[in-house]
C-alpha cells in the first residue's frame, strides 16, 4: 500500500485503523521527532483525537530492569484486554559525541513484535535532557490516534533529576533494584519525588527486602512531612485557628478541612517484582488499573492543560520565527538594529515596526498570489 | 560536544536460528559511532518480527546478519514481506558468512549490499551513507 506523505493524509490513514495505519502512524512519528517545525501543523485539531485511557511512565536507573518490567506489564495488559491496542514508547540515550544510538529495548520485548495489537516505537534522546526525547509527547498522541488503549513510556536510564516523565505520564512507576544506594540517596530530591508507584525489582536478590523496607520508611516519612505542611497551612492561615490538632469550636473546624489532594492521600505503594521471572507483576498491574479507573477524569483534565500549553508554545515559536526572519541572522542584523543601537528609537518601537512589517508581508504575499 | 544530529535509522537483526551475534553487534556499534540510530532486535528473529519492527520504527534500512546458510530463503522472505506491506522503499542489506556465489542471487532479489567477513568498517559506513542518504 503506498502511503502519501502529507500530514493530513497520514493522519486520516492512521485514524482509519486499516491495513496502512501502522505505517502511516510510524511516518507521523518520524515527522514529530525529526521535524519539530511541522508539529504545529499536526497540533491543529489534535484535541479531538482519541486518547489512550492510560499513559504509564516507567523510569529508573540504568540496569534496574525497566525494559523487562515493561515487557511483563505489556503482557499482562494484553491478557486483560485481548481486543485492545497497546503502545510502547522506549527511549534510549544518543551519543553526545556522534549523535548515533543503539536502541536495544526491543530485544526484551520481541515476543510482542508480531502481536498485531502491540505497537513499539524506540526513540533516541538526541541530546534532550530530562529522560525523554523531543517529540515523545507527539508520539503518544499518535498512538492514541491509532487506537492504543494503554501506552507505556519507558525512559532512558535516569539519574536523580530526569523527571520529565512525571509531566508526561498519567502515572509514573519508579523502578529500583538492590545495590543502588543507601537511605540517604532516597532522601535526595528529584526522582524519588516523581514516583506515584514504586517497584523494587530483582526481588530474587537477598537485599531486596531491605531496600523495600528502607523505601517504605522514606516514602512514609516524606508523606507525613507533606501532610504536616499541608495542615500547618490550614491551621495558620485558615479561617479558624486550630490548636494542637484540636479545634477551638469543638470539632467543627476539623471537619471543614478539605480532603488532601488525591495523590497525597496515602504514601506511594511499593511493589516487589522479579521481572525476569514474571513474579509480582499482577498485583502491580491490578494497582495501576484501579488508579486508572479512579483517576481517569482528573488525568483527562491534566492532559487538556498540556495540549493548551503546547499550542501556546507553538504559537509563540511561530511568531518568534517570523520576527527573527525580519531581523536577519547574526551577521546581517546590524542594519535592522542600527536605529536602536544608535539610540534613535527604543527597543519597543523597533518591535512595533517589525510586527507591523510582518503583518504587511503577509498581506503582500496574499496579494501577489494568482487567483 | 558535537552537534548530535543523527543520520538515518537502521534496524540490525538476525533472522533464523544461528545465535552468533558478535558480527551484528559489532556492526551496530560501528553504525552508532558513525552517527546512525540503530534499532537492535537481537538473535533468532522471524522475518515477520523483523519486518513488523522495521515498519513500526520507520527505519530507512534493514541489515540482516546471518551465519546459518539460510540467507537465500530468509532474505527473500524479508523482501517479500516488505513488498506485501507496501514498504519496499526500506533498503535491505546483509552480512555474515555468505558464499560469494550467492551474492548475485541476493542482489537480484533486491538486497542492496552484502558485507562478508573482513569488510572494513569504513566501507560499510560509506556504502550505507550513500544508500540511506535522506532528502533534506
> Residue B69 belongs to a domain with what CATH number?
3.40.50.280
Q: What is the pLDDT of residue A185?
A: 63
Average pLDDT over residues A276-298: 94
Which chain A residue is nearest to residue B37, measuring alpha carbons?
A101
Domain boundary among A254, A278, A296: A296
Pair (A86, A154) in one structural domain: yes
Q: Is residue A337 included in any domain, yes or no? A: yes
Pair (A200, A332) in one structural domain: no
Pair (A340, A235) in one structural domain: no
Question: pLDDT, tens digit, for every residue of A188-208?
Answer: 657 787 889 999 999 999 889
Pair (A354, A221) in one structural domain: no
Pair (A354, A275) in one structural domain: no
Q: Which residues of A touch B6 (CB under 8 A)?
A: 94, 99-101, 124, 126
Mean pLDDT of chain A: 81
Asked if A104 and B40 come within 8 Å (Cβ–Cβ), the reply is: yes
Asked if B56 and A20 come within 8 Å (Cβ–Cβ), the reply is: no
Q: Is residue B2 included in any domain, yes or no? A: no
**Domain count of chain B?**
1
Q: Is the pLDDT of residue A243 over 70?
A: no
Pair (A337, A289) in one structural domain: no
Q: What single string gives the DSSP state of each residue in chain B?
A: --------EEEEE-BSS----HHHHHHHHHHHHTT-EEEE--SSB-HHHHHHHHHHHT-SEEEEEE-SS-HHHHHHHHHHHHHHTT-TTSEEEEEES--GGGHHHHHHHT--EEE-TT--HHHHHHHHHHHTPPP-
pLDDT band at A79 (very low <50, low <70, confident <90, very high): very high
* Higher local confidence (pLDDT), B84 or A186: B84
Q: Is residue B4 included in any domain, yes or no? A: no
**Structural domain of residue B69, as residue ranges?**
9-130
Domain boundary among A273, A296, A319: A296
Pair (A348, A288) in one structural domain: no
Q: Is residue B83 included in any domain, yes or no? A: yes
**Domain count of chain A?**
2
> What are the cell numbers at B24?
551484528
Q: What is the pLDDT of residue A363?
A: 59
Q: Is residue A353 included in any domain, yes or no? A: yes
**Structural domain of residue A360, as residue ranges?**
328-368
Q: Is residue A28 included in any domain, yes or no? A: no
Q: What is the pLDDT of residue A310?
A: 75
Asked if A121 and B56 come within 8 Å (Cβ–Cβ), the reply is: yes
Average pLDDT over residues A298-318: 81
pLDDT band at A36 (very low <50, low <70, confident <90, very high): confident
CA angle B98, B101, B105 (to 5 degrees): 85
Q: Is residue B32 included in any domain, yes or no? A: yes
Pair (A234, A103) in one structural domain: yes
Q: Which residues of A touch B52 (CB under 8 A)?
A: 113-114
The closest alpha carbon to A194, from A152, A158, A166, belongs to A166
Q: What is the pLDDT of residue B53?
A: 94
Q: What is the CATH number of the domain that holds A119?
A: 3.40.50.300
Pair (A229, A364) in one structural domain: no
Question: pLDDT, tens digit, for every residue of A158-177?
Answer: 776 677 788 889 999 999 98
Q: Is residue B3 included in any domain, yes or no? A: no
Q: What is the pLDDT of residue A255?
A: 44
Q: Is residue A130 included in any domain, yes or no? A: yes
Which chain B residue is nearest to residue A87, measuring alpha carbons?
B56
Average pLDDT over residues A110-130: 85
Asked if B4 and A126 come within 8 Å (Cβ–Cβ), the reply is: yes
Asked if B86 and A94 come within 8 Å (Cβ–Cβ), the reply is: no
Question: pLDDT, tens digit, for every residue of A347-356?
Answer: 999 999 999 9
**If interface means Cβ-Cβ distance under 8 Å, which residues of chain A face chain B?**
1-3, 20, 22-23, 26-27, 29-30, 94-104, 106-107, 110, 113-114, 119-122, 124, 126-127
Pair (A80, A200) in one structural domain: yes
* Higher local confidence (pLDDT), A199 or A228: A199
Q: Is residue A8 included in any domain, yes or no? A: no
Pair (A252, A335) in one structural domain: no
Q: Is residue B26 included in any domain, yes or no? A: yes
Q: Is residue B21 included in any domain, yes or no? A: yes
pLDDT band at A100 (very low <50, low <70, confident <90, very high): confident
Asked if A98 and B58 come within 8 Å (Cβ–Cβ), the reply is: no
Q: How far is B58 from chain A (nearest CA, A)?
A: 5
Q: What is the pLDDT of residue A230?
A: 73
Asked if A103 and B37 come within 8 Å (Cβ–Cβ), the reply is: yes
* Higher local confidence (pLDDT), A209 or A330: A209
- For chain B (136 residues), the mean pLDDT of every run of 10, in chain order, is 68 90 92 94 91 95 93 95 94 94 96 94 95 72
Q: What is the pLDDT of residue A166?
A: 80
Q: Is residue A272 included in any domain, yes or no? A: yes
Pair (A292, A339) in one structural domain: no
Q: Is the pLDDT of residue A240 over 60?
A: no
Q: What is the pLDDT of residue A19?
A: 83
CA angle B58, B49, A61 (to 5 degrees): 70
Q: Is residue A316 included in any domain, yes or no? A: no
Q: Is residue A242 included in any domain, yes or no? A: yes
**Portion of chain A with pLDDT greater than 70, in percent:** 82
Which chain B residue is nearest to residue A128, measuring alpha carbons?
B4
Average pLDDT over residues A206-219: 88
Considering only CB atoms, B2 lies closest to which of A97, A102, A113, namely A97
Best of A30, A86, A98 to substitute, by most chain B Cβ atoms within 10 angstroms, is A98
Amino acid at each position: 500500500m503506498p502511503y502519501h506523505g502529507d500530514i493530513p493524509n497520514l493522519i486520516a490513514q492512521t485514524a482509519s485503523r486499516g491495513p496502512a495505519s501502522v505505517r502511516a502512524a510510524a511516518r507521523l512519528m518520524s515527522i514529530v521527532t525529526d521535524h519539530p517545525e511541522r508539529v504545529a501543523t499536526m497540533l491543529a485539531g489534535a484535541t479531538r483525537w482519541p486518547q489512550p485511557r492510560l499513559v504509564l511512565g516507567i523510569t529508573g536507573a540504568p540496569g534496574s530492569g525497566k525494559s523487562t518490567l515493561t515487557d511483563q506489564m505489556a503482557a499482562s495488559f494484553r491478557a486483560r484486554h485481548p481486543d485492545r491496542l497497546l503502545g510502547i514508547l522506549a527511549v534510549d540515550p544518543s551519543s553526545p559525541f556522534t549523535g548515533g544510538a543503539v536502541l536495544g529495548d526491543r530485544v526484551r520485548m520481541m515476543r510482542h513484535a508480531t502481536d498485531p495489537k502491540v505497537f513499539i516505537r524506540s526513540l533516541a534522546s538526541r541530546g534532550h535532557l530530562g529522560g525523554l526525547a523531543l517529540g515523545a509527547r507527539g508520539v503518544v498522541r499518535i498512538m492514541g490516534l491509532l487506537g492504543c488503549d494503554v501506552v507505556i513510556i519507558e525512559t532512558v536510564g535516569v539519574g536523580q533529576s530526569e523527571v520529565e516523565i512525571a509531566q508526561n505520564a498519567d502515572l509514573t512507576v519508579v523502578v529500583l533494584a538492590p545495590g543502588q544506594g543507601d537511605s540517604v540517596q532516597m532522601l535526595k530530591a528529584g526522582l524519588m519525588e516523581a514516583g506515584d508507584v514504586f517497584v523494587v525489582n530483582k526481588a530474587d536478590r537477598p537485599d531486596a527486602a531491605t531496600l523495600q523496607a528502607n523505601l517504605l520508611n522514606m516514602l512514609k516519612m516524606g508523606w507525613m512531612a507533606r501532610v504536616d505542611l499541608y495542615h500547618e497551612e490550614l491551621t495558620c492561615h485558615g479561617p479558624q485557628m486550630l490548636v494542637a490538632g484540636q479545634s477551638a469550636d469543638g470539632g467543627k473546624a476539623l471537619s471543614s478541612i478539605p480532603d488532601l489532594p488525591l495523590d497525597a492521600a496515602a504514601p506511594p505503594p511499593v511493589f516487589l517484582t522479579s521481572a525476569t521471572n514474571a513474579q509480582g507483576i499482577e498485583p502491580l498491574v491490578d494497582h495501576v488499573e484501579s488508579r486508572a479507573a479512579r483517576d481517569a477524569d482528573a488525568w483527562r483534565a491534566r492532559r487538556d492543560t498540556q495540549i493548551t500549553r503546547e499550542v501556546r508554545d507553538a504559537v509563540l515559536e511561530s511568531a518568534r520565527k517570523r520576527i527573527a526572519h525580519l531581523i536577519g541572522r547574526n551577521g546581517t542584523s546590524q542594519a535592522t538594529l542600527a536605529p536602536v543601537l544608535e539610540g534613535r528609537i527604543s527597543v519597543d518601537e523597533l518591535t512595533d515596526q517589525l510586527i507591523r512589517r510582518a503583518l504587511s508581508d503577509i498581506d503582500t504575499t496574499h496579494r501577489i498570489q494568482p487567483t | 560536544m558535537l552537534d548530535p544530529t543523527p543520520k538515518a535509522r537502521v534496524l540490525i537483526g538476525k533472522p533464523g536460528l544461528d545465535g552468533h551475534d558478535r558480527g551484528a553487534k559489532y556492526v551496530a556499534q560501528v553504525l552508532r559511532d558513525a552517527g546512525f540510530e540503530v534499532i537492535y532486535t537481537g538473535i533468532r528473529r522471524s522475518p515477520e518480527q523483523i519486518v513488523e519492527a522495521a515498519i513500526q520504527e520507520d527505519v530507512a534500512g534493514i541489515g540482516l546478519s546471518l551465519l546459518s546458510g539460510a540467507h537465500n530463503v530468509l532474505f527473500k522472505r524479508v523482501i517479500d514481506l516488505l513488498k506485501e506491506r507496501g514498504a519496499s522503499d526500506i533498503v535491505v542489506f546483509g552480512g555474515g558468512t555468505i558464499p560469494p556465489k550467492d551474492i548475485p542471487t541476493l542482489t537480484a532479489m533486491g538486497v542492496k549490499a552484502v558485507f562478508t567477513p573482513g569488510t572494513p568498517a569504513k566501507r560499510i559506513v560509506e556504502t550505507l551513507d550513500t544508500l540511506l542518504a535522506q532528502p533534506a
